[in-house]
Chains A and B, each alone.
Chain A
Amino acid sequence: MSLARDMITLVAVSAGAFFFLAGTIGLLRFPDTLTRLHALTKADNLGLGLVVLGLLPQAASVRDALKLISVWLLALLAGATVSQLIARAAREARTTR
């Protein structure tokens, strides 16, 4: 049982780390603001989600597990809305520049 839990953690956290890697490569390599924003919000939010998924089997209680999930939900909400606002700011800056 403990082994199975550890396996889930191992796989999910590794996958999460991979998405953080992908997001960072995107940030470093993509040419302009909008594509970099895309790399940041999509890949990193998925990475955080997988890390949360991997930590769920290690959580001490149901309450901790629920809090972990709400951390991810908050991050998703922030990613979805803030990225739009930043993208608009970027477009405005490009048209007025």
Chain B
Amino acid sequence: MSDFLTAAVGFILAMLALGLVSILRGPGDEDRMMAAQLIGTGGIAALLLLGTVTDVPAAIDVALTLALLATFASIAFVKKGLSSLEADAPRKTEDR
């Protein structure tokens, strides 16, 4: 079981690495904004599996912290990537 889970960590990390390459390559800022989002899913999955393999139950607390901070960083990416600060401002062409 432990070998299988370790292999799963390795596989998800490899997917994470490829995804990061694709995201950071761009071309635009909007692509790079996805980086924290990717870590919020792939990184957390790898972390949870790692915590189970190495028998560190507190890894779940790290995962909770990562989930909150990755969301915070994503919002900051969106806000700071735009020239204006009105990331979610109402505008005329809104299709809500």
Contact B57 A60 (CB under 8 A): yes
**B40 cross-chain contacts in A, Cβ below 8 A:** 75, 78-79
**B52 cross-chain contacts in A, Cβ below 8 A:** 55, 58
C-alpha spacing A90/B19, complex, angstroms: 19
C-alpha spacing A77/B72, complex, angstroms: 12
C-alpha spacing A58/B18, complex, angstroms: 29
CB closest chain-B residue, reference A58 = B52
Residues of B within 8 A of A (CB): 1, 4-5, 8, 11-12, 15-16, 18-19, 22-23, 28-31, 33-34, 37-38, 40-42, 44-45, 48-49, 52, 57, 60-61, 63-64, 67-68, 70-71, 74-75, 77-78, 81-82, 87-88
12 pairs, A vs B, C-beta closer than 8 Å: A9-B1, A9-B5, A16-B8, A16-B12, A24-B18, A36-B31, A47-B12, A47-B41, A71-B67, A86-B74, A89-B33, A90-B28
The 4 A-B pairs of least Cβ separation, nearest first, read: A44-B41, A90-B30, A78-B71, A74-B67
Residues of A within 8 A of B (CB): 6, 9-10, 13-14, 16-17, 20-21, 23-24, 27-28, 33, 36-37, 40-41, 44-45, 47-48, 51-52, 55, 58, 60, 64, 67-68, 70-71, 74-75, 77-79, 82-83, 85-86, 88-90, 92-93
